[in-house]
A and B are shown apart, each in its own frame.
Chain A
Amino acid sequence: MNVLTFLIPIALFLGGLGLAAFIWSLKSGQYDDLDGEALRILDDDDDRPLTD
C-alpha cells in the first residue's frame, strides 16, 4: 500500500508528461503537413527552411 502512494503519482506524472508533449507538438504545428514531413526527411541538405 505504501509503495502505491509513490508509484501511482509517478505513473500519472509520466503519463501527463506524454500528454503535455503531445499537446505542445500539436500547438507548434507538427501535424499540419504530414505528407510534407514524410518527404522532407528524404532531403539530405542541412540548411533549414525559413520558419517561425
Chain B
Amino acid sequence: MSCCGVRTEGEGAFTGSAALWAKQTDDGCFQLTLSVPGMHCAACITTLEKGLREISELKEARVNFTLRQVRVKWCDADFDPDEVVRKIADLGYEARPFDPEAAGFARDDAEARELLRALAVAGFAAGNIMMLSISVWAGAEGATRDFFHWISALIALPAVAYAGRPFFRSAWAALSQARMNMDVPISLAVLTAMFMSLYQTINSQQHAYFDAAVSLLFFLLIGRYLDHRMRARARSAVTQLMALSANGATVLGDDGEKRFLPIASLEPGMLVLVAPGERIPVDGLVEEGRSDVDTSLITGESNPERIARGDRVYAGATNLTGPLKVRLMSAGEDTFLAEMIRLMAAAEKNQSAYVRLADRLAGYYAPAVHVLAAITLGGWLYVTGFNWPVSLLHAVSVLIITCPCALGLAVPAVQVVAAGVLFRAGMMVKDGAALERLAEIDTVVFDKTGTLTLGQLQLIDTGPVSTESLAIAAGLAAGSSHPLSKALARAVKERGIAPAVVTHVEEHPGRGLSGLWRGRKARLGALAWCGADEAQLKAPDMPHLALAIEGRKPVLFAFRDTLRPGARETIERLKEAGLRIELLSGDREGPVRAVARELGIERWRAGWSPQEKLAYIEGMAKAGSKVLMVGDGINDAPALAAGHVSMAPSTASDIGRTAAHFVFLSESLHPVWFSHAVARRARRLMLQNFGLAIIYNVIAVPVAMLGYASPLFAAIAMSASSIVVVSNALRLSLAERQLKRGFSLREGAGQAEQHRQSRKAA
C-alpha cells in the first residue's frame, strides 16, 4: 500500500510500449506525456530533468510538478520512448505514459486560460474606469465629465464584450431551454447598465454605470475562476488515477510473439498473458494455467477464488499466484463489464434531473427583480406624465442595484471554499451539484469489501498455536504473493517471530505451498490439500489456511478482512447526524455479519448481486429516501449511479470511480463523515448568503425605486455586499478547524497507533 492509499500492489511496473501513446507534433517531432505520481519533493524535479537530459535524443524534458507529469519531446523517428520509461525507473520513479487529451486535461486547460484572460481584461478595465469614475464623483463637471465618460465607454465596451462572454453564453443556453439561472439576471444587469450608460454619455448626462458593470464582471470572474481551478484540480487527480490503472494487455500472437496493446485495440479471440500480480484486462476463458484470483472488485467476495483451465475470468479481477493464458470472449454484450455499464446507464437515465440550489433560487429571485423593475417603470411613467428617459433610468438602476453581484457570489463562494476544505481532507469533488445533494441525504448505504474494509486480510486469534508452527508457516509463506500467505507472513512478523528456514518451497497454484523443514515435508494451503477436516473450523465462513507437517496434526489459521481506519467512528458520526446506515454486500454471510456487528450496523444484507443492489437503491429512491451510496467494486457501479449521491475510494474499480460523485484518496474512512458535515454547513452558509443578499435588497431596492440611486451609491453598495457574502463563505474554513479538532480528540491514541502500524506493515 503506498502512502496515498492507491492500490499499487499488483499493478507492477509498466510493461508496454510507450510509443503507442506518443503524439506527432506539427514540426514532425514526437511528444509524450508521462504520469509520475511518485514525485513529492523539490529535488525530484532536478533529478528527473537532469537524468532525462542524459538521453541525447530528447529535445525537451519538462517536469510539471503540479500535475505530477513529465513531458518529453524528440525528433528522431527511430528513438524508442520506452527508454524514457526505463530511465525514469532507474531514477527511482514509476512512470506511465498516457494521453492527456483523452484524460480531459486539454479541455480544462483551455477553459482555465479563457477565464484567466477574461479576468485580466476585466481587471484592467475596472481599474482604469474606477480611476476616472472617482474624479467624476469628486466633482468633475461639464466637458471634463463627458470626456471621462467617453473614455470609460471606450474601455468598457470591448471589455464587457470580451470578459462577459462566459456569462452571456451560459445565460443564453439557459434561456434557450426555457430555464432560469443566475447568469440571466447578471447578464441582463450588465447589458442594461452598458446601454443606459452609453445613452447618458451621448446625451452628456451624469448617470453612467460603466464602473459598476465592469467591476461586477471582475468580481464574478474571480469567483468563477477559483471555482473552475478547484474542480479541475480534483478532476485531474481522479483522471490521473485512471490513467495509471487503465493500461493494456500483453497479447500472445499466433507466431508466439508477445505484444503489448492498449485495452481499446484488444479483439475477441486474442490470447492474453496475465502474470501473477496483474489485473485481468477483459473477460475471457482460461486457456492454460492455474491460479487464484482476487475477485473482490467484482463480487465483493473477500476470499480468493481458485481457477483452472476452462474457468471464466472477469475483467477487474487480480491474478494472484500463477501465470494465466486467457482467451478473450466476444467483446460485445455478454461481458460482465458491459452488463454493468448498461445497468449504470439505465440508472443514470432514471435519475430525476437535479436543479441546483443557485438556479432554484434564481428561479424565484430573477422574476421578482424583473417585476420590481417593471413596477418602477410604470410608477415613474405615471408620476412624471410619460417621461420615458427618466422612468427608464430609474427602472434600469433597480436592475443594476439589485446586486446580482452578491447573488452571483452567494453560492459559488461557498462552493469554492467547501471544495478546498474537502480537497485538503483528501476528498475530490467531481461535480459541484454533488455537494448540495450530499447535504440532503437521509440514508447511507455501504459496500463491504474494499469500502468498509481494506480488502487486506488479517490473521485472527482462534485458539493457541505454537510459536514453532507460526515460524514454519511464515517460512513457507515468505515467497508467495497470495494474500493469505502475505497476511500470515505479516502477522508472524508483527508478533516478533523469525520465520523458520524452509527449503525446496514450491507454489502449487490453487492449492498452496510445499517445502522441507528439517527434512520433514511441510504444506501450507487449502484445507483438503493439507489433510485438515473442514468440520473443525471455528469460524466456517472465514478464509482459512492449514499447515500440515509430516507426522503432526494440521494447524489451522483463520483470517478476516481489516477494517478501514476510522470506519467505526465514521459510522458512529453518521448515526449521530441522524442518518440511517445500511450495509449491502456481495460477499458471503459470515464476513458480512462480522463486519456489521463490529461496526454496529443493524441493517445488512449479504450475497447480493449488482442487480439486487441497484433495485434496492432505486426502490428506496422511489420511496422518497435520499441515499448516499459508498462503494468501490464493479458490482457497485450501477448502485453508485442510482444513488442520490455517491462516493468511492481511490482504490475502487475504474467504473466505480467514474460513477461516483466523490472520490477519496485516503486509506481512512474519515472523509465520508467529514464531507457530509462540510456539505451541511455549506448548505447553511449558502442559504445565509442568500438571506444577506435579500436583506441588502430590501434596503437598496426602495432607494433605487424612488430614484435616489446614483453610480456612486451603486459602486459602494455592490462592493460592500459582495465583501459581506464572501467573508461569510470563508467562515467554512473556520468550521474545518473545529471539525478536525473534534475528531483528533475523539479518535484516541489507540486508533492512531493502529493506523501507524498498518502503514509500517505496508
B window 364-398: CB within 8 A of A: none
Q: Which of A19, A40, A52 is the one whose CB lies under 8 Å from B60?
A: A52
Residue numbers in B under 8 Å from A12 (CB-CB): 128, 151, 155
Give the shortest distance, in Å, between B523 (CB) and chain A (any CB): 53
Task: Chain A residues near B62: list those with CB within 8 A.
Answer: 49-51
Complex CA distance for A37 and B583, rounded to whole angstroms: 46
Complex Cα–Cα for A52 and B59 (A): 8
Min C-beta distance of B381 to chain A, whole Å = 39
B45 near A36 with CB under 8 A, answer: yes
Would you give the shortest CB distance from A52 to chain B, in whole angstroms?
Answer: 6
The interface centre, meaning the residue of B50, B63, B120, B127 with most chain A CB atoms within 10 A of its CB, is B120
* Contact-size category for A: 20 to 34
Q: Which residues of chain B from 28 to 80 have any CB-CB distance to chain A below 8 Å in the complex?
A: 41-42, 45-46, 49-50, 52-53, 58-67, 73
Contact B117 A23 (CB under 8 A): yes
Asked, given contacts A4-B144, A15-B128, A26-B113, whether A51 binds B67 with beta carbons under 8 Å apart, the answer is no
- Chain B residue numbers with a CB within 8 Å of A39 are 41-42, 45, 65
Size bracket of the B interface: 35 or more
**Whose C-beta in chain A lies nearest to the C-beta of B64?**
A33
Provide the bound-state CA to CA distance between A43 and B48, in Å: 13
Tell whether, in the assembled complex, residue B116 and residue A50 are in contact, meaning their CB atoms are under 8 Å apart. Answer: no
Q: Does B314 contact A (CB under 8 A)?
A: no
Minimum CB–CB distance for A15 against chain B, Å: 6
Give the residues in chain A near B67, CB-CB below 8 Å.
Answer: 33
- Assuming the contacts A4-B147, A26-B116, A51-B60, asked whether A16 and B124 have C-beta atoms less than 8 A apart, the reply is yes
Q: What residues of B have a CB within 8 angstroms of the CB of A40 in the complex?
A: 42, 45
A49:B63 contact, CB within 8 angstroms: yes
B620 in contact (CB, < 8 A): no
Q: Mark B136-158, 1 if CB is under 8 A from A, else 0.
A: 00000001100100010001000
B736 to chain A, nearest CB (A): 21
Interface residues of A in 3-38 (CB under 8 A from B): 4, 8, 11-12, 15-16, 18-19, 22-23, 26, 31-36
Shortest beta-carbon distance from B165 to chain A in Å = 16
Residues of B within 8 A of A35 (CB): 65-66
| A31, B60: Cβ atoms closer than 8 Å | no
Interface string of B100-139 (1 = CB under 8 A from A): 0000000001000100110011001001100110000000
List the B side residues contacting A1 at CB < 8 Å. Answer: 143-144
Contacts of B50 in A (CB 8 A): 47
Indicate if the CB atoms of A15 and B45 lie closer than 8 Å: no
Looking at the complex, which one of B45, B46, B109, B121 makes contact with A19 (CB distance below 8 Å)? B121
Q: Are A18 and B65 in contact (CB under 8 A)?
A: no
Neighbour of B65 across the interface among A15, A22, A33, CB < 8 A: A33
Give the distance in Å from the alpha carbon of A14 to the alpha carbon of B658 in the complex.
Answer: 48
Partner of A8, one of B58, B61, B151: B151
A47 contacts which chain B residues (CB < 8 A)? 50
Contacting pair B58 A50 (CB below 8 A): yes
A interface SS class: helix
Least CB distance, A10 to chain B, in whole angstroms: 12
What CA separation (Å) do A5 and B463 show in the bound complex?
95
Task: Give B145-179 interface residues, CB cut-off 8 Å to A.
Answer: 147, 151, 155
Q: How far is the CA of A19 from the CA of B147 in the complex (A)?
A: 23
Q: Mark B719-737, 1 if CB is under 8 A from A, else 0.
A: 0000000000000000000
Q: How many whole Å from A51's CB to the nearest CB in chain B? A: 6
A12 to B61, CA, bound (A): 40
- By a CB distance below 8 angstroms, the chain A residues around B45 are 36, 39-40, 43
Contact partners of B155 in chain A: CB under 8 A: 12
A11 contacts B117, CB within 8 Å?
no
- Flag if A36 contacts B144 (CB, 8 Å): no
Docked CA distance A35–B44 (Å): 13
B387 to chain A, nearest CB (A): 33
Q: Of B42, B61, B109, B147, which is within 8 A of A43 by CB?
A: B42
**Chain A contacts for B65, CB-based, 8 A:** 33, 35-36, 39
Residues of A within 8 A of B143 (CB): 1
Contacts of B42 in A (CB 8 A): 39-40, 42-43
Given contacts A11-B131, A18-B124, A32-B64, contact A49 B49 (CB under 8 A): yes
> Nearest Cβ in chain B — how far from A25, in angstroms?
10
Quick one: CB contact mask for B187-212 with A, threshold 8 Å, 1 for yes? 00000000000000000000000000
A interface footprint on B213-250 (CB within 8 Å = 1, 0 otherwise) = 00000000000000000000000000000000000000
Residues of A within 8 A of B144 (CB): 1, 4
Q: Cα distance A26–B144 when bound, in Å?
A: 37
Given the complex of chains A and B, what is the CA–CA distance between A15 and B147 in angstroms?
Answer: 19
List the A side residues contacting B151 at CB < 8 Å: 8, 12
| A35→B233 CA distance, assembly (Å) | 12
- Determine how close the nearest CB of chain B comes to the CB of A13; give it in whole angstroms: 11
In the complex, which residues 322-344 of chain B have their Cβ closer than 8 Å to any Cβ of chain A? Answer: none
5 smallest A-B Cβ distances: which pairs?
Answer: A36-B65, A39-B42, A35-B66, A19-B124, A49-B49
Chain A residues within 8 Å of B, Cβ to Cβ:
1, 4, 8, 11-12, 15-16, 18-19, 22-23, 26, 31-36, 39-40, 42-43, 45, 47, 49-52
A sample of 17 inter-chain contacts (CB < 8 A) reads A1-B143, A4-B144, A8-B132, A8-B151, A15-B128, A16-B124, A26-B113, A36-B65, A39-B45, A40-B42, A40-B45, A42-B42, A45-B46, A47-B50, A49-B61, A50-B58, A52-B73
Additional A-B contacts beyond A42-B42, A50-B53 (10; CB < 8 A): A8-B151, A12-B155, A15-B124, A16-B124, A18-B124, A26-B117, A36-B45, A39-B42, A43-B42, A50-B58
